[in-house]
């Protein structure tokens, strides 16, 4: 199989010529929809953009056929793992990656593996892959309830002495890679904090607490990559729980993959901390 940044585990789209149906696993469909939506129409990308819902339907199959016809000179409406269509989709969508190193002081209630899976699903709509590079357990009881101060979102400060001390634990983290510190709690109590000490020797990163939601990790990393909260929620009187960047609590999100708008996707894809994968 080809080594691709955004892969699928089973076939997506139409049945094969011999009648074998595609498995259309929802996470695989998310990947294909995300890739098709990040390719311009002239290059065979989805036009209009597909609804990013992970559900196969005639519009997604038609978009696959259109892409294949434009780029590959054939169309069977099906994307198979490790084959030419998924490879070409990765190239045309210019897939980039965020590389994550987990530093675990306290395991979160929602397993970190679930948080990573969720983040992959969400970031697929921006054609961004998520690589979990390493996991390291840290025994630092005095930093397990981390004082994060005012925690200005997605910035390099001001940081607290606690943050400065925690972020010195950078084993194995390379340039453009990101640290995720899983702690018991923060002071003041937050679900996560995206403030990190400045580089270049300290890598960017986030802090996520034990009681965080499945989406907190993706939300905090998105802050580091340049996204802020929605400006349309009017002090949470009109929250939008379909969106990753809700400022009213990602625990209230009910979609399998909360949405990013076109501006947010463009901001993410231009972020400095993405890895050329």
Compare residues 220 and 264 and give the one whose CB is closer to another protein. 220
Least Å distance, CB 80 to another protein, is 38
Residues that bind another protein (CB under 8 A): 141-142, 144-145, 147, 151, 153, 184-185, 187-193, 209-213, 216, 219-220, 235-236, 239, 247-252
**CB of 32 within 8 A of CB of 15?**
no
Residue with tokens 């607490």: 209
List C-alpha distances in Å: 151 to 123, 147, 189, 191, 251.
24, 9, 11, 12, 20
CA dist., res. 206 & res. 217, Å (int): 8
What does the DSSP assignment read for 128-171?
A: EEEEEEEEEE---GGGSEEE-TT--TTSS-S--HHHHHHTT--T
CA dist., res. 30 & res. 53, Å (int): 7
H-type alpha helices, the chain: 26-37, 58-72, 84-92, 112-123, 161-166, 216-224, 262-269
CA dist., res. 239 & res. 255, Å (int): 14
Least Å distance, CB 101 to another protein, is 21
Compare residues 71 and 144 and give the one whose CB is closer to another protein. 144
Compare residues 26 and 184 and give the one whose CB is closer to another protein. 184
Compare residues 61 and 138 and give the one whose CB is closer to another protein. 138
List C-alpha distances in Å: 200 to 50, 156, 204, 273.
39, 11, 9, 12
Least Å distance, CB 216 to another protein, is 5
Compare residues 6 and 193 and give the one whose CB is closer to another protein. 193
Least Å distance, CB 252 to another protein, is 6
Which tokens hold the place of 90? 């990765």
Give 160's contacts (C-beta < 8 A, 6+ positions apart). Answer: 146, 147, 148, 149
Compare residues 38 and 195 and give the one whose CB is closer to another protein. 195
Compare residues 21 and 189 and give the one whose CB is closer to another protein. 189
**CB of 179 within 8 A of CB of 204?**
yes
CA dist., res. 227 & res. 221, Å (int): 9
Compare residues 31 and 122 and give the one whose CB is closer to another protein. 122
**CB of 45 within 8 A of CB of 36?**
yes
């Amino acid at each position: 199989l080809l080594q691709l940044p955004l892969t699928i585990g089973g076939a997506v789209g139409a049945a094969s010529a011999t009648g074998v149906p595609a498995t259309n696993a929802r996470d695989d469909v998310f990947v294909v929809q995300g890739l098709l939506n990040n390719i311009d129409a002239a290059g065979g990308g989805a036009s209009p953009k597909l609804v990013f819902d992970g559900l196969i339907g005639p519009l997604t199959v038609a978009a696959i056929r259109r892409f294949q016809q434009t780029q590959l000179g054939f169309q069977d409406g099906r994307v198979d793992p490790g084959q030419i269509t998924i490879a070409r989709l990765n190239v045309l969508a210019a897939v980039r990656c965020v590389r994550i190193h987990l530093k675990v002081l306290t395991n979160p209630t929602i397993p970190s593996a679930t948080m990573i899976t969720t983040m992959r699903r969400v970031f697929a709509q921006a054609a961004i892959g998520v690589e979990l590079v390493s996991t390291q357990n840290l025994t630092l009881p005095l930093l397990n309830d981390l004082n994060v101060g005012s925690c200005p979102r997605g910035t390099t400060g001001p940081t607290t002495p606690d943050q400065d001390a925690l972020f010195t634990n950078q084993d194995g983290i390379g340039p453009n890679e990101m640290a995720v510190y899983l702690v018991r709690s923060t002071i003041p109590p937050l679900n996560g904090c995206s403030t990190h000490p400045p580089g270049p020797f300290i890598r960017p990163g986030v802090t996520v607490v034990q009681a965080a939601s499945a989406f907190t990790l993706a939300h905090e990393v998105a802050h580091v990559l340049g996204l802020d909260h929605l400006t349309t929620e009017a002090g949470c009187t009109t929250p939008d729980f379909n969106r990753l960047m809700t400022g009213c609590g990602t625990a209230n999100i009910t979609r399998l993959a909360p949405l990013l708008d076109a501006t947010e996707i463009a901001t993410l894809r231009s972020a400095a901390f993405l890895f050329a994968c």
